[in-house]
Structure 1
Amino acid sequence: MSKKHLQNSELETQVEEAMVQGEQFLEKNLKKILIALGALILIGVGAFVYVNKVSKPAAEKASAAMYVAEDRFLMGQDSTALKGEGIANMGFEAIQKEYSGSAAANLSYAYAGICLYDAGKYQEALDALKQFAAKDAYVAPSIQRLIGDCYAQLGQIKDAASAYEKAASMADNDAIAPSCLIKAGHAYEKLGDPKKALELYQSIKTKYYTAPEAQTVEADIIRATAAVK
């Protein structure tokens, strides 16, 4: 094996390890973000829809159905949360159909996407996540980041890079944007573009210098710099 081939192999391994660490962060934090802020979307963004376009009884049923499904989701019972179980628990997929157009249905796409991603059903997860719509600075970019993860798992690295960059732009805050930029950088490294990756890593140091990632990204900067040279 040539020295150059060995270096490329080591670089790819380092990038893979970094991407896995990023996915572990997502697993630990996205559910918390969604639970904490999803309710605000349901109440705030969906209030007008509920009151004016959905009858009050239907709105109450949708809220009750979401409560049960979310409870299963929090308990780690993803399959039950997604598919439902008996009359008491409709599940996210049924909520999407039964209350189509409501805030509950919209939010259920995000939950369903996470469940499907955890189950390794990346294309189905991608399809569900693309149905979710929000404009906040936390849930929306977190879901967009997960869309990038779906693309990455499907081997569509170029699309993954674009999704991560979009997520960073949507968030534009210290809490979400830096991790998205790091993921985008990892994707560009896999695409053989360490120069672009380096630009993204360095932007974290300059634009989000108070974020924890501004310190941890140093290893990525060193790796990408070496690859550019």
Structure 2
Amino acid sequence: MADKSRTSFTSSSQHAHHTPQSFFERLEIFYLQQARIINIVGVVIILLIGGYFGYKYLYLAPRNKRAASMIFKAQQYFGMDSLQKALNGDGNNYGFLQVIKRYGDTKVGHLAKYYAGVCYLRMGKYQEAIPYLKSFHPKDKVVQAEDYGLLGDAYMELGKTDEGIAYYKKAAYYNPNDLFTPFYLKRAALACEKAGRVQEAISLYQEIKTKYPLSAEGRDIDKYLARLGVVQD
């Protein structure tokens, strides 16, 4: 009786394994049943991919090229320190603000935001500089650190010391290196002194002394520590 049961089970299993519906046949049946949904999804994916490449290469690329030709004169004025013309143009050529308005969605338009922020900063219009500097997010870490440092300068000039310190620290730690990190650490420390945050200033000065002793800031850092009552051996 047991043998008969075992034989029956084996026979049943083999029959199930050799079913006429293969994997591909089942796939075909599934497709026929869901054809409308599958086709819609496929079309949507194709449209999304095509739209992305079309937007990038047929729309943005030509706009970026036009923006590059229009920002050229503004960059020249910037180099000459003719900041008003760099910002607003000269009547015949675009300034950074016009480039941003027309081509702000391009790489060149994005760069124009940085230039505009620096122009306002140099002109003493610190509040106007901040939104442009904040909206600039370069891929280059050194440039991004510099942007944070400029924001620190703007906030310090506005008397917003806490914000200034925060941005100086961001500039120092965003891309640690022997050149810029001690520079911004020192600016942060000086700002801390101004704000009465003496222990924090000492800590920052000591960080420069310990980690960046050969930097320009590190070579004379002892005198800054000494004036805060920290005597070095």
What's the TM-score, normalizing by structure 1?
0.72
Query: Which protein is bigger by CA-based radius of gyration?
Result: 2
Instruction: Report the Cα distance in structure 2 between the residues aligned to 1:110 and 1:225, rounded to whole angstroms.
Output: 40
Match of 1:174 among 175, 178, 183: 178
Equivalent residue runs for 1:55-204 within 5 Å: 55-87=60-92, 89-204=93-208
Q: Among the aligned pairs, what percent are the same residue?
A: 35
Whole-Å separation in 2 of the counterparts to 1:217 and 1:138: 24
Q: State the Cα RMSD in Å.
A: 2.2
Distance change >3 Å, CA 54–CA 170, structure 1 → 2: farther
- Gap runs ≥5 in structure 1: 1-47
Deviations 1:176-210 (A, max 9, x none): 11111111101111111111101111111222233
Which whole-Å CA distance do the structure 2 matches of 1:52 and 1:207 have between them? 46
Alpha-carbon distance in structure 2 between the residues aligned to 1:102 and 1:53: 13
CA, structure 1 residues 202+210, in 2 after alignment: closer, same or farther (shift >3 Å)? same
Unaligned 5+ segments in structure 2 are 1-52
1: CA distance, partners of 2:177 / 2:139: 14
Question: 1:18 corresponds to which residue?
Answer: none
Cα–Cα, structure 1 residues 142 and 55, in superposed 2: closer, same or farther, change >3 Å? closer
Please say if 1:221 is aligned against 2:225. yes
**Does the 8 Å CA contact 1:137/1:172 hold for their aligned counterparts?**
no
Cα deviation digits, residues 133-164 of structure 1 (max 9, x gap): 12423211111101001110111001111110
Structure 1 outlier segments of 4+, above 6 Å: none
Distance 1:77 1:145 in 2: 23
Task: Report the AA paired with residue 112 of structure 2.
Answer: S
After the TM superposition, which of the residue ranges 164-173 and 209-218 deviates more from structure 2? Answer: 209-218
Q: Give distance in 2, aligned partners of 1:62 and 1:174.
A: 36
